[in-house]
Amino acid sequence: MTRVNPDAGAGDRLALAVLAQYRMATTEQVHLVVSPGVRIEQTRRRLAKLRAEGLVDRITLAQAGRTRVWFSTVHGARIVFEWPELRGRRPSRLVGDRSAVRLRTGHALTVTETALAFLQDARHRGDLFRPLDWIPEVQHPLGSGEAVIPDALMYYRSQGDAGGHGSMMRAFLEIDRATMGPERLAAKIPAYARLHTYSPAQPGRRRIGQEPPQEEWRKRYPVFPRLLFVLANTGPAGIETRIDALQAAAALDGGNFLHKVPVLAAPLADLLRDGPTAPIWRPLTDPSQRVSWICTRPGPDSPPAAGGRTAQRIAHPYLAPAPQTVTGAEAATDAQTKHPGTVPRQRSPYPPRPSPPLPFPLLVEGRVPECTGGYQTPHRPPMSAVTCANFVAA
């Protein structure tokens, strides 16, 4: 009896799903996402076959060396979003529209290029991040017809120890191509802060003792995803201006949102050169630092941010300076210097009261603190990056 290969056509299926979910991709991008281990001619034949079946279509960008950009047709999207792994997703309202594709290539292809950078880095590191774990334009309602729609939502699992205990992470990504001013870009920070606290109004009056309604995002995620801004199409001065604007917007509520959710920014050029897990990300709590988006903690050898400017620092448990040890004699001398004639307070013989818990866990048994609420084990070093293992060793 002839055995049926259940994986037959898996490459065609994945290529169609990627084009439907990513909105569009070039021939090379499809090749690197779907089947980087084969020759690109095989990918070209696969796309040509899908086009002949009416599942995908293409346009040609004459100004970009006649680059071919592929996208799903209405028929292809209707088939894809009935598959179990994509059921419940909504296709774009402009799916299959050649004019809409041509006018959106700049932003959409940059989003796809960012997804490819994360995908290639995860393959190199052995982390679990599949092509369909990158979901563009997921709507998160805020009530009154408003919504937060990130450029992409990413599900990512870092590799664990020998027992396979890794850390599941989620991230909202905003890819900025400098097509809008810094103020409009920074306005996204308050929108995400609203999403973090938004809970839909409950009909009727709440009874005494009844639990208050939970935030809407908790219905989707156990922990609020971290927020990553990828900055493109601008030089070092433009990067500094945009990060300053983002930090200023985040400080409007006293930095409360930044205490609860890691918000990082990085240039797209650095991300493509060094890889997303390299210490290229600048936390808005202290943009002078460089961290990995996975660890969100600066390493001992992390270089300071370029540009020569240090933004105003916002207190943060990850980036707080270590307390200095002061002897009793030094404290008495310091008190007399600042306030002459005062009597220095005697040190209490009782042990100090424990500090209240921080929003994020600290290092425990050699593990790296994770903003997702869990712990991530040290992983092997990626390409030319200061890794979490260095942070633990420090």
Say if residues 382 and 121 touch (Cβ distance below 8 Å). yes
DSSP state at residue 126: T
Residue 166: the pLDDT is: 75
pLDDT tens for each residue of 202-251:
666 666 666 667 889 999 999 999 999 999 999 999 999 999 999 999 88
Residue 316: the pLDDT is: 40
Cα-trace Rg, the chain: 25
Residue 301: the pLDDT is: 43
Q: Which residues pair with 17 in a beta bridge?
A: none
Question: Which residue would you say has higher pLDDT here, 274 or 6?
Answer: 274
Domain with CATH 1.10.10.10 in the chain: 13-105
| CATH class of the domain comprising 13-105 | mainly alpha
- pTM passes above 0.95: no
Query: Per mean pLDDT, which range of 56-60, 253-257, 331-335 is the poorest?
Result: 331-335
Q: Is the pLDDT reported for residue 73 higher than 60? A: yes
Whole-number Cα distances in Å, 103 to 23, 24, 194? 13, 12, 31
Q: Is the pLDDT reported for residue 308 higher than 70? A: no
CA–CA separation, 77 vs 146, rounded Å?
26
Q: Which ranges of 53-97 would DSSP assign to H, the alpha helix?
A: 74-80
Where is mean pLDDT largest: 7-11, 263-267, 357-361? 263-267
Query: Per mean pLDDT, which range of 114-123, 163-172, 277-286, 305-314 is the poorest?
Result: 305-314
Q: Is the pLDDT reported for residue 108 higher than 80? A: yes
Residue 116: the pLDDT is: 97
Question: Which residue would you say has higher pLDDT here, 11 or 230?
Answer: 230
Q: How confident is the model at residue 302 (pLDDT cuts 50, 70, 90)?
A: very low
CA–CA separation, 102 vs 233, rounded Å?
19
Q: Is the pLDDT reported for residue 199 higher than 80? A: yes
Q: Is the pLDDT reported for residue 324 higher than 70? A: no
Residue 62: the pLDDT is: 80
Q: What does DSSP say about strands 263-267 and 226-231: parallel, antiparallel, or unpaired? A: parallel
DSSP track, 212-270: PPPPGGGGT-SSPPEEEEEE-S--HHHHHHHHHHHHHHHGGGTTHHHHHS-EEEEEHHH
